[in-house]
Amino acid sequence: MTLLSRLKDIKAKNEEPGKVQIPQKKSPLDLGGVEINNSFGNYYLIEKEYSLANLTFPAVSKELLTRNLRLLQGIGPVTEREMREQGIDNINQLSGEVRWQYEVEIVSECILKGKIKELRRRGACDYELLSFFKKDDLVFLDIESTGLWANQPLFLVGILYKDGGKLKLQQYLARNLQEEKPLLADLYKKLRNFKVMVTYNGKKFDAPYIEGRWVEHRFFYRLKHYQIDLLYHARRHFKGKFPNCRLITLEEYLLNFKREGDIPGYLIPQTYYKFVKSGDPALIKDIIRHNALDLVSLARVLYIVQPCINAKDFIAATK
């Protein structure tokens, strides 16, 4: 059918009397959460608790940083190897040498004052830098959106963090897209409580997406968290060893866990819109479950991929 004839049909249909669609009445939604109000409107919040055992936060000491010789400008892999062969494995051992004295002072000060950005610039890895943080600083985050570009709204933000002796899951849900703005406003307030954000592909996707949504709703907030993107680490360690580096693959190979009946990512936008139209809770429950599983796996994978300075040894150790 050609475009013009389709448009003609549409015009005729719209002009037909009594064809106005009356929106279906939706029954109140029960997903085990509560409705939250703020000055921008309402949204829905679901909370759940897990045992803290799921979060194996690596205890890292700052010692580790002083053992990274390459933090000194001028030391590359070759020099490092030579030094290690000579028995030098701590930067403090170089503080007496004229050549390195100044560099050692700078790095030591960075470690002392927690100048994370500078250390990162010098090549400190996420794992070493975790030594500046406590378990309470950490937030795991995963979003579900209606598209691939931040121009398209998001509707679910799941976060997982340590809350006293428990691991707490919070899922911020927009039951329709009018609820996105109030959701985003509260999300900012919540995220301010944390210093480290752990995600899977969040550096490229989740974080800029949230910031993009804040721009669209003209909050212009920025995420200032220290970002740990586990996809980056997983790729470094497991590329070529596993069929791919998707989170569910990691679950299978590292956590011996296989998801059943999980909704595939590409179906999420249309499923959400179906939910908005019909109000059928089953539709959104699938997405909520998917989001929660992602977060719990993230927390479990953190320990596994994070400390692997040598991934091979680690896989051996987990088997």
Partner 1 sequence: MDAQKILEYIRQSENYHEQIVHTEELPAKEASFAELNENLHPHLENYLKDKGITKLFTHQVTAIEKVAQGQNVVVVTPTASGKTMCYNLPVLNHILNNPKGRALYIFPSKSLSQDQMAAVEDFNTEVKVAVYDGDTPDDLKPELREKTSIIITNPDMIHQGILPNHLKWHNFFSNLKYIVIDELHSYRGVFGTHVGHIIRRLRRICEHYGSKPQFIMCSATIANPKQHAERLTGLPVSLIDNNGAPQGAKKFVLWRPPSKRPYIQDVIWLFSLLIALRTRTITFSRARQTTERILRHTKKLLQEKLPHKNLHNKVVSYRGGYLARERRAIEEALFKGTVYGVVSTNALELGIDVGELEACIIAGYPGTIASTWQQAGRVGRRHKDSLVIFIAVQNPLDQYFIRKKEALFTKPTEQALVAPDNPYILLGHVLCAAHELPIKPQDFSLWGEIFPDLLYLLEEDGEIVQSEGSYYYIGGTYPASRVNIRSSSLASFQLKDKSSGNRLVGTLDGHRALSEAHPGAVYMHQGETYLVKDLDLENKHCYLNKVDVDYYTMVKRDKETEIIEINKKRPLLTHMLYSGNLKVTTRVTGYIKKHEATGQVLGGGELDLPEEILETQGMWVTFDPTVIEEAKGYYLNLMGGLHALEHASIGLLPLFAMCDRNDIGGLSIGAHPQTGLPTVFIHDAYDGGVGFSETAYSCFEDLLEKTLEAIKECECEDGCPNCIYSPKCSNFNRPLDKEAAIYLLHRLLGKEYTPRVENNKIIINSTALKNSLKRFK
Please identify which residue in 29, 114, 203, 212 interacts with partner 1, judged by CB under 8 A.
212
Does residue number 114 form part of the binding site for partner 1 (CB under 8 A)?
no
* Tokens 């205890």 -> residue: 59
Structure token digits, residue 94: 């170089």
Piece of the chain touching partner 1 by CB under 8 A; list 7-15, 59-67, 102-110, 246-254:
7-15
Please identify which residue in 149, 164, 313, 316 interacts with partner 1, judged by CB under 8 A.
149
Query: H or E stretch including 34?
Result: strand 34-38
Please identify which residue in 215, 223, 255, 311 interacts with partner 1, judged by CB under 8 A.
215
Q: In 3D, which of 210, 211, 249 has the Cα closest to residue 231?
A: 249
Please identify which residue in 37, 147, 192, 318 interacts with partner 1, judged by CB under 8 A.
147
Please, how many CA atoms are within 13 Å of residue 146, restricted to the half-sphere of its CB? 18
Query: H or E stretch including 228?
Result: strand 226-229
Piece of the chain touching partner 1 by CB under 8 A; list 55-63, 94-102, 264-272, 295-303:
264-272
Does residue number 177 form part of the binding site for partner 1 (CB under 8 A)?
yes
Does residue number 269 form part of the binding site for partner 1 (CB under 8 A)?
yes
Please identify which residue in 150, 191, 296, 304 interacts with partner 1, judged by CB under 8 A.
150
For residue 195, the SS3 value is coil
Please identify which residue in 164, 260, 264, 266 interacts with partner 1, judged by CB under 8 A.
266
* Cα gap 4→11, rounded to integer Å: 11
Q: How many residues bind partner 1 (CB under 8 A)?
A: 30
Structure token digits, residue 222: 């920025």
Residues whose CB is less than 8 angstroms from the CB of residue 215 and which lie 6 or more positions away in sequence, other chains included: 150
Contact 64, 128 (CB under 8 A): yes
Piece of the chain touching partner 1 by CB under 8 A; list 52-60, 111-119, 262-270, 285-293:
262-270
Strand partners, 38: 41
Please identify which residue in 157, 234, 276, 299 interacts with partner 1, judged by CB under 8 A.
276
**Rg of the Cα atoms in the chain:** 25
Does residue number 278 form part of the binding site for partner 1 (CB under 8 A)?
no
Does residue number 207 form part of the binding site for partner 1 (CB under 8 A)?
no
Please identify which residue in 7, 37, 82, 243 interacts with partner 1, judged by CB under 8 A.
7
Residues whose CB is less than 8 angstroms from the CB of residue 241 and which lie 6 or more positions away in sequence, other chains included: 315
Does residue number 220 form part of the binding site for partner 1 (CB under 8 A)?
yes
Please identify which residue in 273, 280, 289, 307 interacts with partner 1, judged by CB under 8 A.
273
Structure token digits, residue 201: 């592909």
Does residue number 222 form part of the binding site for partner 1 (CB under 8 A)?
no
Cα 53 from chain centroid (whole Å): 20
Interface ranges with partner 1 (CB under 8 A): 2-4, 6-7, 10-11, 14, 146-153, 176-178, 212, 215-216, 218, 220, 266, 269-270, 273, 276-277
